[in-house]
Amino acid sequence: MLDIYAGRAALEKIQGQGFKQELFTSFYGASGGPKWFTLFGLDKLIFGEFFKDRTTRLNLLGSSAGAFRAACFAQADPVAAITRMAESYSQTVYSKQAKADEITAKAKEIIDYTMAGHGVDEILANEIIKTHFLVNKVSGLAGCENKLCQSLGLIKSIVLNRFDRKLLASQYQRYVFKSPSSHLAIKDYCGFTTEYVDLSVSNFKQALLASGSIPMVMQGVRDIPQATKGMYRDGGIVDYHFDIDIANRDGLTLYPHFNARPKAGWFDKRLNRDVQSYNYDNVVMLVPSDEFVQSLPFGKIPDRTDFTTMDAKPRIKYWQSVLAQTERLAESFDDFINKQALENIKPF
């Protein structure tokens, strides 16, 4: 049910020391909207049991849906938080032809429900689980709220990215909104300018919202407190599934993901462009198998198009069925850990 992949260095370390939580010092959460529902069972097991009694620092690095998940994992009760998020997101209903302001307002409601009153304070005070939200500061036409102007800016991004991903640095600047005591630093071969801003009570929800503010779908977030003035949008534009490394990393990275072929940025989705394999040397990926995906309703994992191709009631039933069935992935991972079935790990 669950496929496990490991980079060269990660596989060597695990084969020598076994698969245990102490080996991991970072955790990735990727963009992908409701695709993350396939990871729900794993998320509960990983942060409800696997990392439950952790005493050393764990850095969470998330973009878009991955940032929302990270905001759950650093709360005092991560299982309750991720359950609230799954409940709220899966039952969200939009009006016909919903516009950006409505979709943005619904995202704010999800954040408020997920934080449940004291969530922000719990995250900022957490001395073990350190949260990092990836956001992009956007310049030029892609930063406009006018749909025509924004679409022209995105077309430029598509063209630039097709030639060379590095050219996107002229339009997008990476911002990492981080736990105040974190010293995490990103190493990026593409050379995107990266700024680090401490999370606070005054900027937390805006930074989290910005990390998931999908271009042409949601409103951007302007002038986030403590950050440079400007327009901020979805962290997945640059860091969709990650093609980076953590410069000051001293352990492995655990990365539950919904497929085995990650894409660096949002504009790479339809390109035959792979990530740099060396950025995954120290990464362990947990991926739902093809067999598991085919066993789901409609033989696929949820995605944002379900909002427009399905009526609300059957969509909600489908999504909640997927959430329930991901317990099988959690059971598979738990069995792997208990048996230390290291022979089941595949090279990345």
pLDDT one-digit tens code per residue, 36-46: 999 999 999 99
Which residue range is the domain that position 203 belongs to? Answer: 2-347
Mean pLDDT of 233-259: 95
| pLDDT at residue 255 in the model | 98
pLDDT one-digit tens code per residue, 24-79: 999 999 999 999 999 999 999 999 999 999 999 999 999 999 999 999 999 999 99
The count of domains in the chain is 1
pLDDT above 90 (res 284): yes
Dihedrals φ, ψ of 132, to 5°?
-140, 120
Mean pLDDT of 282-294: 97
pLDDT above 90 (res 279): yes
| pLDDT at residue 4 in the model | 98
pLDDT one-digit tens code per residue, 308-329: 999 999 999 999 999 999 999 9
| pLDDT at residue 248 in the model | 82
What's the whole-model pTM score? 0.96
| pLDDT at residue 343 in the model | 95
Dihedral of the alpha carbons of 249, 254, 259, 261, in degrees to the nearest 10: 30
Mean pLDDT of 177-190: 95
In this structure, the number of other CB atoms found within 10 A of the CB of residue 22 comes to: 12
pLDDT bin (cut points 50, 70, 90) of residue 258 is very high
Mean pLDDT of 86-94: 96
pLDDT above 90 (res 249): no
Whether 258 contacts 163, CB under 8 Å:
no
Percentage with pLDDT > 70 across the chain? 100
**Average pLDDT along the chain:** 96
pLDDT above 90 (res 1): no
CA angle in degrees (0–180, nearest 5) for 219-86-89: 30
Q: Which two tokens stand for residue 239?
A: 């860091």
pLDDT one-digit tens code per residue, 97-148: 899 999 999 999 999 999 998 999 999 999 999 999 999 999 999 999 999 9
| pLDDT at residue 175 in the model | 98
In this structure, the number of other CB atoms found within 10 A of the CB of residue 167 comes to: 15
Mean pLDDT of 183-212: 97
Whether 28 contacts 255, CB under 8 Å:
yes
Mean pLDDT of 261-281: 95
| pLDDT at residue 60 in the model | 98
